Chain A
Amino acid sequence: MSTKAGSGVKRRDFLKILGATGATTAVVGCTSEKVGKLIPYVSSPDNTVAGVSQFYATTCRECATGCGVLAEVRDGRPIKLEGNPDHPVNRGAICATGMSALQGLYNPDRFRQPMLREGSELKPVTWDRALEVLGQKLGEVKSRGGAANAVFLNAHETGSFPGFVDQWLSANDMPAHLSIDTMAPAATVAANRAAYGVAWPAIDFKASSLILSFSADFLDAWGGRVPQQLDWADARAQLESAPKLVYIGARRSLTGLNADQWIPAKPGSEMAICRAILGQGTAAEAAQAADVAEGTITALIAAVRGAGSKVLALCGMSTPDAVECGSMVAEINKVNGSVGTTIKPAQAHAGYEGVASYLELVDATERMAAGNVPVAFIRNANPAYSMPTSVGFAAAFAKVGFKVSFSIMPDETSLLCDLILPDNHWLESWGDAVALAGERSFVQPALEPVFDTRNAGDVLISAARADGTIASRFPQADYRSWMIANFEGGATAFATALTKATVSGSPVASRGTRTAVASRVSPAPALSAAGEGMFVVVYPSATLGDGAGANKPWLQELPDPVTKIAWQTWVEIHPKAAKEMGVREGDHLTVKTAAGEITAPAYLYMGVRPDTVAIALGQGHTEYGRFAKNVGVNAYQLLPSGWDTSGNLALVASRGTVTRLEEHSQLVTTEGSARQHGRGIAQAMMAAAISAPEEEEHHHDIPGHVSQEFLPGLKSPVAADAQGEFANPQSKDKGMYNPEHPTKAEARRWAMTIDLARCTGCSACVTACYSENNIPTVGAAYQGRALSPTTWDERPGANIIKGREMAWIRLERYYEGNTNTENEFSPDFETRFVPMMCQHCGNAPCEPVCPVYATYHSPDGLNVQVYNRCVGTRYCSNNCPYKVRYYNWFGYGEPERKQYAWPEPMHWLLNPDVTVRGKGVMEKCTFCVERIREGENRARSEERELNADEFTTACAQACPSRAIVFGDAADENWSVAKLAYDRRAYHVFEELNTYTAVVYLKKVNHPAPAASATA
């Protein structure tokens, strides 16, 4: 099979391939295509009905957590990933990164066929030729006896594949591979191993009453964020008895913003605090080292003592002394007796087993630099990007005799290789994963490969079978057969296991053992309190990770949960420090450390110490596809090559100088004002007030608020609400719809509750909505507008700078307190996250202004937007107090326009149930009306009524906090009907009489657990 370079797989070819191979998944006709063709199957696969979704259980491979996902497959193509409700790890939830795997699958810049280097260029070749070259080169290496010096760098994964690779390597007399996971919190893992004997003990938030987080960003990128968030939200939903969180670190991360108290300790001073807590030092020493009030430390010590075994201390630091500090944090748990209560080593998470240390990678780099490595294999790891530049990986890698890449994307490392044997995406692959010790979950293909790619396992097997000397060790034809052969119970049991979320058991093949690496360079020096310059905190991005997510426009477009910046790198600096330096937001700052320097615009953030700047990883790719290339800067350039005592990279390891440049760029932010101006959008109440009589707190902080009773029944007291008092059979107000109409649609009132006590601001709902509703991403550099007849705005995020992001649901992040930040540093501010989407008002201001009825109120309570009727006056948006209507400024859905948001084959992920909106049309949240209709159709086909909580919206489905509940408020059997009457319920802008169908439940605040008596 040969395909020309750059030519995509044509739809017809795709159909043919599938039909011919008769795979379990296949494709039917273009039910949703514009072409006037009606293509049937050649032979129709079992249980497939055109236009009806099937769900394949598989396991997410985007991070080490190993969540179970369901791939929704329509006509042979996955169109959405959802959490698998049966999977013990994620219990149905899913994060933004996981959902965005689809954009990795359908990425237009993926390797489309094998490639071979000819001179300086990679040229497409056939698989036969590629395998021939591979065999030949392997033969050469082995014949020269260089096999022992081969290097195989694999992106970290659990399951059988690592063992399989090591088997293959050992058959070729090569050393075991290195499993690279730059996102793994290696210091924590090392400390956990030392303290608890496992890499990652289970964390029980619910059992705790006081959580100390030493930069343990369990809601951002530290550990398994979906299971952690689920547990955290459940724990916080206990309201009055919820655990309180104290966050200790120089930068307030998303986890920090969810904390009840922030102790802004200087980087490197955490040990002193631990010592004070453990009684090994005094509070005064700790306070001095950490540069915080002594009273705070004293109160903290008292709080920890008071909490006893309900203390949960977590350490997620990445300083040179992180392992030591982690051990001391574990000591706090031990001393308090909370091991086994809040920290459960018995229920370990297995995701980080087998991760190679940074030191091993440095060692391999040094061997390469010395010219000792004859052949190197790379699979989806990208050390040319994700290692401190000072290590010099790229230059070292260039000296490798022959470099083979199995990566799916043309990233910085792959493009240095000589032979590209593109692997299948995990959604096209067979595989397995072990997330919880002893629980195995499977990866199965949800579609035939999009491009001319092959599973790396299959390729390794063919290479081995081509080599007569070792062919006998690989009797199976491909990796799937190899897996089945190694599966207890064989093919039948295997087929059954595929439909299950997890099965007990472990992969048969185990990893090879790697030789320990001796440290040849001294570790990074500890951060000293007395040094020069500002602390430079580098942290993995909550959306892009360490950069692997940067090629996915959904993740690029998703604003960082803390800073709300997208498509950019920024330098966080405290407003006070900025004022002293004369820096305004957006002014370029050069941050220079001993290792290197970067320049990025300043973001004034009150959640960072004034002597610290913070920079996220993830951007600054020089390759890796159109969405990643030349966006932002790479913070790895700042990192010194030193490591901590466990041999892992310390991200917070240096001080640097920060200088202001004359240049200025606008921040690509979705943030308007971060203050509510007393408008009662994000409301909160103190935990103690929940059981207090209701009168005591009632809207007094909203000036101009019309004093009236909260009417969760969504019935307007003033205007004639369209649906009348549907909930009250005695009422004569039957609303404006014909109750006699046979369809009885007006009996329903679709509604939603959002519990702000649960919401963490993680933004998974945003990406879920993009995925479900075909929302275009608009921030890519090619999507900008014309600045003059001849020039285009090619800044990444140009449209977002213009406020044109399309997120139907957005996460607003409002601050309370700390209004004098530019003159004073204070850690005591509160953050409230509000998911804001169309409120589906009973009396919607947007509706009567539309001249063509493109928006109106449907009998079942939806504020409907009819795209094909819309002429685009944008009047509705002007009149929407919530500002949740989004406009198609360009032809984002038109392939012939440069702003097209789904370059081929990305359009394969489009949901056929949702219209792709044309230019000049208004769009907004529909409450996933396509899911409502699907549910109604299903119920109707089965000749029954809808069951309570039968389906939900995409945002609610994904939400790892379970903050969003959707349903029929008019039917008491649905959960939402009960929640809407909660004690904490309120409508946003109730005083405008919009009578929204979205009911928010107030956030619950707790007093600072370690409030200083003097403060």
Chain B
Amino acid sequence: MTTKKKWTVIPGFLALAAAATLLSAYSGASSSQGKLVEQPIKFIHNPHVEKLGMNCLYCHSGANKAMDPGNASVASCMGCHTVVKANGSEEIKKLDEYWNKKEPIPWNRVHKVPDYVQFPHMRHVNAGVTCQSCHGEIQKQGAAGVGEGYKPVEQFASLNMGWCINCHVQGYNAAEGAKLAGLPDSVVTALAKEPVKKARYDCAVCHY
């Protein structure tokens, strides 16, 4: 009686749409992971960190003391850059301008959790979580210089709640964090033997 079973297509489409919705919801489609933001000065982490071996805490001095990691004051930039001019780099000239005007540099935020999330940097840093675990291989940022191929700091992680919770519940894998941070292999292998560090996953740890 029926010639073709065309109708089977309809539930097929419905199932596909439902699957797509669920997948996007689950994978955190609303996150801004991978966001690149132009900055007032094309800062490059790479020479500071890899070449000069500066510790992250030199500029982000609150990271092991406060909720907020903080950012270098213009004065502390000028501590070196009154001398270091990198062959008259345009970017350092911009820094000079801010310093001369006594104005702070209006950096654009890259990693931002919502206002209702209280994120204590020091608890994480002091627990041995490497910066790179959340911020990616920040030491490589700007390796290409400020010219062609310059890439500003990128939002490395999704910063979704699921992403946070995953680490709190499953535990922090110190070896992986160390690998991202570019620590020597001996350290990585040593850390791999350590048990993972778990944290509280109570809502009121972060939300209040």
**At the interface with chain B, which of A267-275, A285-293, A741-749, A946-954?**
A741-749
Interface hits, A4-55 → B, CB 8 Å: 15-16, 19-20, 28-29, 31-32, 34, 36-44, 49-52
Q: Give A675 to B122 CA distance when docked, in angstroms.
A: 50
Q: Is the CB of B103 within 8 A of A16?
A: yes
- CB neighbours of A930 from chain B (8 A): 118, 208
Q: Give A29 to B67 CA distance when docked, in angstroms.
A: 13
Fill in one digit per residue for A829-859: 1 if any B CB lies within 8 Å of its CB, else 0.
0000000000000000000000001001011
**At the interface with chain B, which of A143-151, A388-396, A447-455, A909-917?**
A909-917
Q: Knowing A40-B72, A941-B122, say if A19 contacts B102 (CB, 8 Å).
A: yes
Q: Is the CB of B126 within 8 A of A44?
A: no
- CB neighbours of B202 from chain A (8 A): 745, 858-860, 864
The residue in chain B whose Cβ has the minimal distance to the Cβ of A937 is B120
Fill in one digit per residue for B111-125: 1 if any A CB lies within 8 Å of its CB, else 0.
010111010101100
Check A940 for interface membership: any CB of B closer than 8 A.
yes
- CB neighbours of B200 from chain A (8 A): 741, 743, 745, 859
Fill in one digit per residue for A861-891: 1 if any B CB lies within 8 Å of its CB, else 0.
0101011110000000000000000000000
The residue in chain B whose Cβ has the minimal distance to the Cβ of A863 is B204
Q: Is the CB of A40 within 8 A of B104?
A: yes
Q: Is the CB of A39 within 8 A of B102?
A: no
* 13 interchain pairs, CB-CB under 8 A: A15-B104, A29-B71, A31-B67, A34-B115, A39-B106, A40-B73, A42-B73, A44-B73, A49-B61, A745-B202, A930-B118, A937-B123, A941-B122
Interface hits, B52-76 → A, CB 8 Å: 61-62, 64-68, 70-76
Check B199 for interface membership: any CB of A closer than 8 A.
yes
Partner of B75, one of A36, A41, A868: A41
The residue in chain B whose Cβ has the minimal distance to the Cβ of A926 is B208
- CB neighbours of B118 from chain A (8 A): 913, 930, 933
Interface hits, A912-961 → B, CB 8 Å: 913-916, 926, 929-930, 933, 937, 940-941
Fill in one digit per residue for A718-755: 1 if any B CB lies within 8 Å of its CB, else 0.
00000000000000000000000111010000000000
Q: Knowing A867-B207, A915-B207, say if A42 contacts B62 (CB, 8 Å).
A: no
Interface hits, B125-181 → A, CB 8 Å: 126
Q: Give A229 to B172 CA distance when docked, in angstroms.
A: 52
Partner of B67, one of A51, A743, A858, A915: A51
Partner of A937, one of B76, B116, B122, B208: B122
**Shortest distance from the beta carbon of B148 to any chain A beta carbon, whole Å:** 26
Q: Is the CB of B123 within 8 A of A52?
A: no
- CB neighbours of A39 from chain B (8 A): 104-107
- CB neighbours of A929 from chain B (8 A): 204, 208
Q: Give A107 to B64 CA distance when docked, in angstroms.
A: 36
- CB neighbours of A31 from chain B (8 A): 67-68
Q: Give A757 to B67 CA distance when docked, in angstroms.
A: 40
Considering only CB atoms and an 8 Å cut-off, how many residues of chain B contact the other chain?
Answer: 43
- CB neighbours of A933 from chain B (8 A): 118, 120, 205, 208
Partner of A38, one of B75, B109, B114, B197: B109
**Shortest distance from the beta carbon of B57 to any chain A beta carbon, whole Å:** 12
Partner of A941, one of B126, B197, B198: B126
- CB neighbours of A864 from chain B (8 A): 202-204, 207-208
Check B108 for interface membership: any CB of A closer than 8 A.
yes
Q: Give A31 to B122 CA distance when docked, in angstroms.
A: 15
Beyond A16-B102, A42-B98, A43-B73, 8 additional pairs, beta carbon < 8 A: A32-B115, A37-B106, A38-B108, A43-B74, A49-B62, A742-B198, A864-B208, A941-B64
**Shortest distance from the beta carbon of A893 to any chain B beta carbon, whole Å:** 10
- CB neighbours of B99 from chain A (8 A): 42
- CB neighbours of A16 from chain B (8 A): 102-104
The residue in chain B whose Cβ has the minimal distance to the Cβ of A893 is B115
Partner of A41, one of B64, B74, B123: B74
Fill in one digit per residue for A557-596: 1 if any B CB lies within 8 Å of its CB, else 0.
0000000000000000000000000000000000000000
Q: Give A50 to B59 CA distance when docked, in angstroms.
A: 12
Interface of A is mostly: loop
The residue in chain B whose Cβ has the minimal distance to the Cβ of A27 is B104
- CB neighbours of B106 from chain A (8 A): 37, 39
Q: Give A508 to B187 CA distance when docked, in angstroms.
A: 66
- CB neighbours of A915 from chain B (8 A): 115-116, 207-208
A-to-B contact residues, CB < 8 Å: 15-16, 19-20, 28-29, 31-32, 34, 36-44, 49-52, 741-743, 745, 853, 856, 858-860, 862, 864, 866-869, 913-916, 926, 929-930, 933, 937, 940-941
Q: Is the CB of A37 within 8 A of B107?
A: yes
The residue in chain B whose Cβ has the minimal distance to the Cβ of A916 is B115
Q: Is the CB of B102 within 8 A of A20?
A: yes
The residue in chain A whose Cβ has the minimal distance to the Cβ of B75 is A43
B-to-A contact residues, CB < 8 Å: 61-62, 64-68, 70-76, 98-99, 102-109, 112, 114-116, 118, 120, 122-123, 126, 197-200, 202-205, 207-208
Q: Is the CB of B204 within 8 A of A743?
A: no
Q: Is the CB of A36 within 8 A of B115?
A: no
**Shortest distance from the beta carbon of B168 to any chain A beta carbon, whole Å:** 10
Q: Give A16 to B101 CA distance when docked, in angstroms.
A: 9
Q: Is the CB of A743 within 8 A of B115?
A: no
- CB neighbours of A745 from chain B (8 A): 200, 202
Identify the interface centre among B61, B72, B105, B203: most chain A CB within 10 Å of its CB: B203
Q: Is the CB of B123 within 8 A of A940?
A: yes
Partner of B62, one of A50, A859, A860: A50
- CB neighbours of B109 from chain A (8 A): 36-38
- CB neighbours of B115 from chain A (8 A): 32, 34, 915-916
Partner of B108, one of A36, A40, A52: A36
Partner of A42, one of B74, B116, B126, B208: B74
The residue in chain B whose Cβ has the minimal distance to the Cβ of A75 is B68
The residue in chain B whose Cβ has the minimal distance to the Cβ of A855 is B203
Q: Is the CB of B74 within 8 A of A914?
A: no
Identify the interface centre among B68, B98, B109, B197: most chain A CB within 10 Å of its CB: B68
User: Which are the 4 A-B pairs with shortest beta-carbon distances?
Assistant: A43-B75, A51-B68, A41-B73, A864-B204
Q: Is the CB of A41 within 8 A of B208?
A: no
Q: Is the CB of B114 within 8 A of A40?
A: no
- CB neighbours of B120 from chain A (8 A): 933, 937
- CB neighbours of A869 from chain B (8 A): 203, 207
Q: Give A902 to B115 CA distance when docked, in angstroms.
A: 17
The residue in chain A whose Cβ has the minimal distance to the Cβ of B64 is A941
Q: Give A742 to B171 CA distance when docked, in angstroms.
A: 11
The residue in chain B whose Cβ has the minimal distance to the Cβ of A45 is B73
- CB neighbours of B73 from chain A (8 A): 40-44
Q: Is the CB of B203 within 8 A of A40?
A: no
Partner of A49, one of B66, B103, B107, B114: B66
**Shortest distance from the beta carbon of B65 to any chain A beta carbon, whole Å:** 5
- CB neighbours of A49 from chain B (8 A): 61-62, 65-66, 68, 70
The residue in chain A whose Cβ has the minimal distance to the Cβ of B205 is A933
**Shortest distance from the beta carbon of B153 to any chain A beta carbon, whole Å:** 11
Q: Is the CB of B71 within 8 A of A40?
A: yes
Q: Is the CB of B104 within 8 A of A42?
A: yes
**Shortest distance from the beta carbon of B27 to any chain A beta carbon, whole Å:** 21
Q: Give A862 to B202 CA distance when docked, in angstroms.
A: 11
Q: Is the CB of B204 within 8 A of A858?
A: yes
Q: Give A78 to B133 CA distance when docked, in angstroms.
A: 35
Q: Give A42 to B72 CA distance when docked, in angstroms.
A: 9
Q: Give A858 to B201 CA distance when docked, in angstroms.
A: 10
**Shortest distance from the beta carbon of B107 to any chain A beta carbon, whole Å:** 4
The residue in chain A whose Cβ has the minimal distance to the Cβ of B79 is A43
**Shortest distance from the beta carbon of A623 to any chain B beta carbon, whole Å:** 36
Q: Give A564 to B204 CA distance when docked, in angstroms.
A: 33
**Shortest distance from the beta carbon of A245 to any chain B beta carbon, whole Å:** 41
Q: Give A29 to B71 CA distance when docked, in angstroms.
A: 9
- CB neighbours of A742 from chain B (8 A): 197-198
Q: Give A58 to B102 CA distance when docked, in angstroms.
A: 30
**Shortest distance from the beta carbon of A728 to any chain B beta carbon, whole Å:** 23
- CB neighbours of B126 from chain A (8 A): 940-941
Partner of A28, one of B67, B70, B75, B204: B70
